[in-house]
Amino acid sequence: MSFLDDHRAEIVDGGEEILVRRFTGTGSPRPKTDTATMARVRGYQPDPLVGSIVQGDVRIIALVDTLSAILPLTTADKVVVRGKELAIKAVDANTRRIGGTLIALEIQAGG
């Protein structure tokens, strides 16, 4: 098994399904599309609560395998974790690359 396979297996085995929610159009209710992916969801420890990170924010490492049709994610998108819709505050598409291939996104979300 390759490092890439190991990385994906770790997220799948220790993770959970989340939804990335994208709203389109205007009006109420706004049309939305949900895309499921596997992710590891973690809270932040008190030490890194600096800058834009606030208590209650979560760090999500989300596999991009099922997200390719909606990349790139932006702060206009939302994530749904355990039934709760959270605002995406930041998306890192660089840290989880292996050999130039994007494996996962690191997402800061809260709300």
Distance CA 54, CA 22 (A): 24
Indicate whether this model's pTM tops 0.75: yes
Q: Which domain holds residue 72?
A: 3-110
Alpha-carbon distance 2 to 96, whole Å?
15
Overall size of the chain counted in residues: 111
| Residues 48, 55 contacting (CB under 8 angstroms) | no
Q: Please say whether the beta carbons of 19 and 32 come within 8 A.
A: no
Phi-psi region of 93 (alpha: psi -120 to 50; beta: other; left: phi over 0): alpha
Q: Dihedral of CA 9/13/15/21: which sign?
A: positive
Domain count, the chain: 1
Neighbouring C-alpha atoms within 13 Å toward the C-beta of 50 = 2
- In this structure, what CATH number is given to the domain that contains residue 34? 2.40.10
- Residue ranges in the chain whose pLDDT is less than 50: none
pLDDT of residue 87: 97
Q: What is the pLDDT of residue 47?
A: 66
